[in-house]
Amino acid sequence: MDILTLIKSDTAARSPLLRKYLMKLNQRIALTCLPHRSPTWRYVGKTTSLRENMSVNATGENNEWSHGFDADSYNSQKNPGNLQEEDIEVPEILEEVIEVLLSGLRDTDTVVRWSAAKGIGRITARLTSALSDEVLTSVLELFSPGEGDGSWHGGCLALAELARRGLLLPASLVKVVPVIMKALHYDIRRGPHSVGSHVRDAAAYVCWAFGRAYYHSDMKNILEQLSPHLLTIACYDREVNCRRAAAAAFQENVGRQGSYPHGIDIVNTADYFALSSRVNSYLHVAVCIARFKEYLYPFVEELLYNKICHWDKGLRELAAEALPSLVKYDPGYFGDFVLEKLIPCTLSSDLCMRHGATLASGEIVLSLHKCNFMLSADKRKSVAGIVPAIEKARLYRGKGGEIMRSVVSRFIYCISVAHVLLPEKLKGSMIDTLVENLRHPNARIQSSAVEALKHFVPAYFIDTDDGGALDITSKYLKLLDDPNVASRRGSALAVGVLPYKFLAKRWKVVILKLCNSCSIQDNSDDRDAEARVNAVKGLVSVCETLTGLRKDSVLCLVEEDTSLHLLLKNEVMQTLFKALDDYAVDNRGDVGSWVREAAMDGLERCTYILCERGSISFSRKTIDHADREVSHDKEAHSLFDVSLATSLVGGILKQAVEKMDKIREVAAMILQRILYNEVPIPCIPCREKLEEIVPREVKSGWAVPTFSYPRFVQLLQFSCYSRYVLSGLVVAVGGLQDSLNKASLAALLEYLKVTDAEKSSFREYKLATELLWVLQQYKKRDRVIRPTLKTIEILLSKKVFMDMEGHTRDFCAGVLDSLVFELKGTKDFTKLYSGISIMGYLTSVLDETNSAAFSQLFSFLGHRYPKIRKASADQVYLVILQNENAIEEEKLDEALDILSETCWEGDLEEAKHQMLRLYKLAGLDLATLVKTTNRRSDNYGGKGSSITDENAFYSSLVGSSGF
């Protein structure tokens, strides 16, 4: 046949569409050779309704509708005429056609397999019963273990077609159903992934076709076999399409067959949307279905044998979380059988198996404890020996070592909460294991170890009086100074979760040690942002632990905790304020923002501690005399005074107007919680205005610049907050992010634009004063100075600060002095460009500042960097054109010619020569020029150094361009 030759050709191998059409052509040829008839042996179905099915389930009786048509007699009895009719002549070509279609069921493309399956169904409908059995046998051979996933998928499609057309008789279901149950769980591991989701989907389609094709009497026994498998796939399959396909098949059978146990309840629970989330399917839908005993044990077996050893790590963790959620339905089964299966698997050579088994074992032990189920002595001993056995087998090494470390920490957490009895030797071994995990550089391993330590120490060491508490505390304090960065990270978190007993005797040492760890180290090699973040978190946790047990104690003496709260106010709060100025940067970006975020959270929590301490002090000393009440009220709030409240709110406001969206949102939400806390925070200046700016009902939008900046910029009018706000605002206005620049600048200009001229002049004067303060406060700190100079340049271009009457002169003089200091010896092109531009604006002031700025601007014509000389020449040219008094009129043309015709980016000596000519034309003091030039040369080259390459040091120019 030409078709067989073409199917085997290279052209067909490259074209799925061609193979699909060849399948269609092949089956059409076979159909033309077979007589068109409806086979008498075909299974005839009948349409039923959901109401009828449910009425049968409710009454348990065979009503008239179920006897009106006897399926067995119709589909099995055959008269002699029928036998004669089936004795037909079979064309020779038919066998070859069916072979082609069977090979099409193995094709690599779904469209070809689907077309071949339909062809099998069409041709079988015209064959005799005996021949159809042969076709079915050939299809079932596709499900042999040696076949690939394509054969299984094509076989499922063919079976579904045969069932839909009534060509799969009930007598054959005995052979078909076991194959379909295997196909429902088909999942073959291939490298880092697996294949089989399309097979499971097709198997669910076969079950769906069964529900539509057969009578409930024929399907009763089949449904009892299929329902647990369908629901297992519906709840626990990895792919959402398989979960939904299995649920659809189950729903179809419930509606048409009506023989599923608890069918309607399950259909209402496992609907299309509930199964869309894998987490919801595992932890909610499956738990609801498992309350029916018919499905509990199949669910447990699926998780136990297939899911906790799955190749997907996330699925294993989810399965280990889902398995203990079923414990409540049969704790004895889990305590005996399931744990018996899991414990040996914790030492499996397969990483997936031992990871899932260890995690599931711990979670089951914890769940059994919550169910008040007591494990037997042998089981407790086996559970306690899991961690030592893992360590003895050295399973922390090699591939999967990190995974096992994390899961062992989680296992220790579970047995600690469950209070599993441990020998003393084993306690020491496990604490050493946690210490090793705390020293690991992986953050997830550290966090799991900290969580385990938080429960392990109180469970096994809190009642001992052998000095173990002091030893454990000393061990972690020593690690705070460890050269290993990972050790410092983990130990800071570990100290934060230690119980009160372990901190009480050395609380001052612990707090001061953590305070020291929150600061940036002098040695740049020792600096680590994560270590500082963990130190801040640990410090705040220690403070809460130390103060938490005291605040409810009526017998606690004032002398005992006064020193603690004073240390909290004077050391801890100040340390957190310093952490708000952590702007460390590395190759990951602004890593200091992590510290600032943790510091804001810590300030909020410490504020609550101080204010609650004040309130408790007041309640304990409440007496009847009014004068003594007043004195006690002052004492109560002395821990949180106006100065501390101003620093707190100001520091948070500074973060609320800076450039990072996340930090702005966090700061605004923290400020909102402080303003509207249940225990009122006292002594906050301008509270009414703050509550107007940050209302209680606004819960989102603070990260949007156009929403937040117009609100917070209003605080510039209050002296207590203006410097905090402005020091953060200039970073946004003068930064590199264009959208942020526009929003923050628009808010600032809108704030300055008021109808009242006197009020507008006052706001400009106040802003000018605070800008000068920023320039003085952050000298030589380019992170702030660069955007501040850019902000001043933008404001001067908008004619701000030029109408402040006598204050304009002072502002310009202050800015010029700062420029001289900041630009002296700098290699930062951003600062140089902004400084040159600002000097150009300052020359318009009619006083001695004019000549000083003009002289400074001229000096940059002889700068070592060609780009700076060119920018200075352009600025001088504009100044001369705009200022008639800059150069005498008869010398003006010559000066403009020099500026325009000189190649300022060329030879340095030629540029200096032309600069001297301009100095003479402008009538400036040459002594000032020589002094300025010599000072700049000393800063650039150092004593005795010479400049050989005037085009060097362009890295700053590249950086200023945003690269």
**What are 758-767's pLDDT values in tens digits?**
777 888 889 9
- Residue-level pLDDT at 187: 92
In the predicted model, is pLDDT for residue 634 greater than 70? no
What count of other Cβ atoms lies within 10 Å of the Cβ of residue 958?
10
The sign of the CA dihedral 249, 255, 260, 261 is: positive
Over residues 415-423, mean pLDDT: 92
Please list the helix, strand and coil fractions of the chain in percent, rounded to the nearest 5, in that order.
70, 0, 25
- What span, in angstroms and rounded, lies between the C-alpha atoms of 787 and 737? 11
76 — pLDDT class (breaks 50, 70, 90): very low
Give the tens place of pLDDT for each residue, 524-536. 778 899 999 999 9
The sign of the CA dihedral 330, 333, 336, 337 is: negative
- What span, in angstroms and rounded, lies between the C-alpha atoms of 913 and 899? 12
- What span, in angstroms and rounded, lies between the C-alpha atoms of 650 and 577? 10
640 against 237, higher pLDDT: 237
Per-residue three-class SS string for 830-847: HHHHHHHHHHHHHCCCCC
- What span, in angstroms and rounded, lies between the C-alpha atoms of 367 and 152? 39
Tell how many helices (H) and how many strands (E) occur in the chain: 53, 2
Mean pLDDT is lowest, of 310-314, 693-697, 910-914, for 910-914
The tokens 């279609």 sit on which residue?
Answer: 101
Mean pLDDT is lowest, of 458-462, 548-552, 629-633, for 629-633
Question: Both tokens of residue 38?
Answer: 């409806």
- What span, in angstroms and rounded, lies between the C-alpha atoms of 403 and 357? 13
Distance, C-alpha 397 to centroid of its chain: 28
Residue 224 corresponds to which amino acid? Answer: E
- Residue-level pLDDT at 385: 93
50 — pLDDT class (breaks 50, 70, 90): low
Closest CA to 598 of 575, 615, 619, 616: 575
Closest CA to 917 of 857, 836, 861: 861
- Residue-level pLDDT at 846: 61
- What span, in angstroms and rounded, lies between the C-alpha atoms of 511 and 505? 12
Share of the chain above pLDDT 70, in %: 85
The tokens 């018996």 sit on which residue?
Answer: 340
61 against 178, higher pLDDT: 178
431 against 9, higher pLDDT: 431
- Residue-level pLDDT at 955: 45
137 — pLDDT class (breaks 50, 70, 90): very high
159 — pLDDT class (breaks 50, 70, 90): very high
Give the tens place of pLDDT for each residue, 246-287. 999 999 988 888 767 788 999 999 999 999 999 999 999 999
- Residue-level pLDDT at 331: 94
The tokens 């940050």 sit on which residue?
Answer: 694
366 against 554, higher pLDDT: 366
201 — pLDDT class (breaks 50, 70, 90): very high
- Residue-level pLDDT at 469: 67
In the predicted model, is pLDDT for residue 71 greater than 70? no
- Residue-level pLDDT at 437: 93
Over residues 692-700, mean pLDDT: 89
Distance, C-alpha 812 to centroid of its chain: 48
- Residue-level pLDDT at 542: 94
- Provide the whole-model pTM: 0.80
What count of other Cβ atoms lies within 10 Å of the Cβ of residue 934?
10
Give the tens place of pLDDT for each residue, 162-172. 999 989 998 89
In 782-898, the DSSP E strands lie at none
State residue 586 phi and psi, 5-degree precision. -135, -165
User: Residue length, the chain?
Assistant: 963
Share of the chain above pLDDT 90, in %: 49
Residue 351 corresponds to which amino acid? Answer: L
Q: Cβ distance 187 to 309 under 8 Å?
A: no
Over residues 378-406, mean pLDDT: 91
The sign of the CA dihedral 210, 215, 216, 221 is: negative
- Residue-level pLDDT at 84: 43
The overall longest dimension of the chain from CA atoms, in Å, is: 131
What count of other Cβ atoms lies within 10 Å of the Cβ of residue 709?
25
In the predicted model, is pLDDT for residue 509 greater than 80? yes
Closest CA to 315 of 347, 355, 275, 349: 355
Give the tens place of pLDDT for each residue, 642-675. 999 999 999 999 999 999 999 999 999 999 999 9
Average pLDDT, the chain: 84
Question: Both tokens of residue 958?
Answer: 């590249």
520 — pLDDT class (breaks 50, 70, 90): confident
In the predicted model, is pLDDT for residue 523 greater than 70? yes
**CA–CA–CA angle 278, 279, 282 (5° rounding):** 85
- Residue-level pLDDT at 228: 92
Question: Both tokens of residue 185?
Answer: 């769980």
Give the tens place of pLDDT for each residue, 700-725. 889 999 999 999 999 999 999 999 99
466 — pLDDT class (breaks 50, 70, 90): low
618 — pLDDT class (breaks 50, 70, 90): very low
- Residue-level pLDDT at 490: 93
Over residues 50-72, mean pLDDT: 47
- Residue-level pLDDT at 962: 42
Give the tens place of pLDDT for each residue, 15-31. 889 888 888 888 898 88
What count of other Cβ atoms lies within 10 Å of the Cβ of residue 672?
19
- Residue-level pLDDT at 902: 86
Rg, Å, the chain Cα set: 41
In the predicted model, is pLDDT for residue 691 greater than 80? yes
- Residue-level pLDDT at 400: 85
- Residue-level pLDDT at 52: 59
Residue 803 corresponds to which amino acid? Answer: D
- Residue-level pLDDT at 54: 55
Which helix (DSSP H) or strand (DSSP E) does residue 150 occupy?
helix 149-164
In the predicted model, is pLDDT for residue 327 greater than 60? yes
Which helix (DSSP H) or strand (DSSP E) does residue 510 occupy?
helix 507-517
In the predicted model, is pLDDT for residue 379 greater than 70? yes
State residue 288 phi and psi, 5-degree precision. -65, -40
